[in-house]
Amino acid sequence: MTKISVKKVIIFKHGVSYYILEGSVKGTDTFELEFKNDEMDDVLKSLFVLDTSEKGYISSISYDAALETSQLLKSVMLNIPDRGSFSSLITQIKGAKVKLAVTGGKTVSGTILGIEEFDKLIKDEKIAEKRLILFQDDEVISKIKFTEIKTLDILNEEIKKDLKFFLDTIISGKKKDAKKIKINCESGGNDEVDRIIFVSYIRESPIWKTSYRLIMSKEQALEEKCLLSGWSLIENTTNQDWENIELSLVAGMPVSFKYEFYQPIFIQRPVIRPPRVLSVKPTEIEEGFEMDKFRDYEMAEMAAKPAAMRKKAKMRTGVPPPAPRGAIGYGGMQSVMNMTDDALLDKVKSQTKVQTKDLGELFEYNISNLVTIKRKQSALVPILTESIKARRVLLYNKNEYNRNPNACLEITNNTKLTLERGPVTIIYDDNLAGEAIITFLNKEDTRLLNYAVEQAVVITHEQKSESLSVHKVTFGSGYSYEYYYTNQITTYKIKNKTNEEKELYLDHPKTQGYKFVEKPNDPEETPNYWRFKLKLKPKDAINFKLKEQREDYSSNYLWNWSKDDILKRVGFYIKHKFIDEKLEAKLKEIAEFIQTLNDKRNKRENLDQERDLMTDEQSRLRENISVLGDDSQSISLKERFVKKLNDQETRFEKISVELKKLDKEIDSLNKKIENQMNKLKP
């Protein structure tokens, strides 16, 4: 069995890697690959094998079944225990033809009948001796001691296959969670020609992780640049050593998924029973279509001319070798610390190289030097070293640090590389300045990296709001809307205690609906903040004042106002010229209507109260009449009560008539008022 080696590994950011392997063979041969059980789905769905020679070919690819060892062994008749293996095998293949080589150089052929045991005394010790009972080809039954049997050749091919399968399955089961794939190669007749076999597949793997070092000297700070060194952490979790392989790292998120491909899947088929009635019955026959009346749907992409292929951008950039102990930025060797910035950059870039390739949605780092990582080990691999734009600034956000700003580096990716997200260690003037996170950076993107808190710059803030007078009035749906401005005034008090000039970015939160009416300078806009840029002089203290304004309104439901309320508001509106004389007249007319409406509502309410009192009084009178007797005094009272009831009944009828009339008048007034209100315009 020939060995196949890993030649290239492409590691993606979404949890899989693409492996390319190569091996050389002559004649008929087999390659063997080993994977974990949970890796088989990815490998089987993506496995590609090719014999690159002219006549050679891949005859088959076999792999271990997904069943457990005990399940696999049920398919064979053999079951050989760990002890007494030979005796057990002989017993299980009774009736098989065999060929024995015995002591004295003799060979015996025949059919196994079984085994007999004899007790034998040796120095007063009873020992069991086993003998093979063989029906020889010359039809003689012989007994052969186990100790005399040198070799045993099973002449039955089926039993040989079962025995080989049993042993292969047992040895495979010893290695837990390991499955093998065998690639069977045929020469096609050219047995003496070396052939190259190409194998590729994907498998789940740890993502590659990126970390950076930003190194800036005082001179570089003045020139607004720094040295960016990027490293990637690679982990070889496979069972194969990576010896001098090509390594590529791809950034981006291509579609990927797991698919149950390895485990056997059994489909439950429907059960069809034989028909009990065999008589003929009528059937519905499908209607015929004129197929030439149906046209094919043409996708726009098929009709369009193919777009020109994008040019693949390639470049070479330098990357530093693994940092020695005491490297710059960590109290390093004096000879390194004394190097100029240009000399340091040239020295680092000359030692390793990386090729990059833009893949549209993805971006690839191709490590130019071959990489070696032993199995189950990890390595730091350099991926870039570039001089990039960088500025030291301060960033204040009251929602993060209420009193001090963050010390930041504002970096611009002016390289030809896409930078993956990762932690960065920032070295300034040969000392540790802090740590930060670089987010995903496309070319020419700019980001702020906050790496420390600047305690020598102190900032406080005060905020107050004020509501101004009404400046506009509108009407609609029976409401008057009075508009006024609300001012929000924020004052930042900033004190620079250092002897250096500082550049401060001040992030002022956006507030819904507010616009600036006073600001010292124009800000930049972020999704949630207005970013003002300030210059702080040494030992200076300033006030930075911002005034924002929003238009608010209060609503008043005119139906709820009295005539006097409306007339007062109308007087206010006329005084401030919010309405004209025409609108004033309409509002006064509405006020008169509302006054009339309120009067009629009050009158109706009084009549309702009167009717309710009469109803209670009539109930009382009827009770009194019912208890009076037939004497003259009672008769006199009855007559008086009856007269009062008659008078009240007459009044009750009049009230009902008046209420109906008032309801009509109120309904008419409501419609008039609603109609007049709908005509109101400022």
Averaged over 484-510, what is the pLDDT?
94
Sheet holding 125-136, edge to edge: 141-145, 125-136, 107-122, 97-102, 149-154
For residue 647, list its beta bridge partners: none
Span of 493-507, 520-534, 573-587 with lowest mean pLDDT: 573-587
Q: What is the pLDDT of residue 642?
A: 82
Q: Who contacts 605 (Cβ-Cβ below 8 Å, separation ≥6)? A: none
Is the model more confident about 258 or about 364? Answer: 364
- 62/337: higher pLDDT: 62
Q: DSSP for 340-354?
A: -HHHHHHHHHTTEEE
SS3 38: helix
Sign of CA dihedral 97, 103, 107, 110: negative
Task: Give me the helix-helix angle, 581-627 and 563-575, nearest 10°.
Answer: 170
**What's the angle, vertex CA 188, arms to CA 184 and CA 190, rounded to 5?**
110
In degrees rounded to 5, what are phi and psi of residue 52? -80, -5
DSSP assignment of 558-596? GGG--HHHHHHHHHHHHHTTSS-HHHHHHHHHHHHHHHH
**CB-based burial, 290-318: b 16+ in 10 Å, e otherwise:** eeeeeeeeeeeeeeeeeeeeeeeeeeebb
447 within 8 A of 420, measured Cβ to Cβ: no
| Strand stretches in 217-336, DSSP E | 225-236, 242-251, 314-319
Q: Which of 28, 53, 54, 133 is nearest to 90 (CA)?
A: 133
CA distances from 518 to 264, 453, 508, 515 (A): 73, 30, 14, 9
CB 181 within 8 A of CB 62: yes
pLDDT of residue 303: 38
Q: What is the pLDDT of residues 242-288, one digit of tens each?
A: 999 999 888 766 677 767 666 666 667 676 666 554 433 443 333 33
Backbone angles phi, psi at 431, to 5 degrees: -145, 155
Is residue 163 over pLDDT 90? no
**Where residue 313 falls among pLDDT bands split at 50, 70, 90?**
very low
Checking if the pLDDT of 563 tops 70, the result is yes
In whole angstroms, how far apart are CA 522 and each of 264, 462, 506, 533, 541?
67, 21, 12, 9, 21
Distance (Å, whole) CA 29 – CA 670: 101
For residue range 456-472, list pLDDT tens digits in order.
999 999 999 999 999 99
Given this model, what pLDDT does residue 638 score?
79
What burial class does residue 253 get, using C-beta atoms within 10 Å of its C-beta: 0-12 exposed, 13-18 middle, 19+ buried?
exposed
Give yes or no for a contact between 635 and 665, defined as CB atoms under 8 angstroms apart.
no
Tokens of 9: 């590994």
Question: Do 112 and 94 form a contact (C-beta atoms < 8 A)?
Answer: yes
Rounded to whole angstroms, the Cα distance separating 500 from 639 reads 112
Whether residue 237 contacts residue 231, with contact meaning beta carbons closer than 8 Å, is answered with no
**Distance, CA of 216 to CA of 220 (rounded, Å):** 6
**Quick one: which of 6, 8, 19 has its CA closest to 202?**
19
Determine contact, residues 313/358, Cβ cutoff 8 Å: yes
> Going by C-beta distance under 8 Å and a sequence separation of 6 or more, which residues neighbour residue 88?
79, 80, 81
Rounded to the nearest 10 degrees, what angle do helices 581-627 and 632-678 cross at?
A: 160
Please, which pLDDT band fits residue 295 given cuts at 50, 70 and 90? very low
> What 3-state class would DSSP assign to 71?
helix
Instruction: State pLDDT tens for residues 392-450.
Output: 999 999 988 889 999 999 999 988 888 888 899 999 888 888 999 988 888 889 999 99
- CA triplet 393, 394, 395: central angle to 5 degrees? 125
Closest by CA to 256, choosing from 17, 48, 422, is 17
Flag whether pLDDT at 593 surpasses 80: yes
Sign of CA dihedral 612, 617, 618, 620: positive
DSSP string for 376-436 = TEEEEEEEEEEEEEEEEEEEEETTT-SS-PEEEEEEE--SSSPBPPEEEEEEETTEEEEEE
Digit-coded pLDDT (tens) for 102-153? 888 888 889 888 888 877 777 667 777 788 888 888 888 888 888 888 888 8
Quote the pLDDT of residue 401: 82
User: Is residue 69 predicted with pLDDT exceeding 90?
Assistant: no
Of 507 and 304, the structure prediction assigns the larger pLDDT to 507
What would the two tokens of residue 124 be? Answer: 């007063």
Contact yes or no for 206/20 (Cβ under 8 A): no
Comparing CA positions, the residue from 388, 385, 228, 414 lying closest to residue 316 is 385
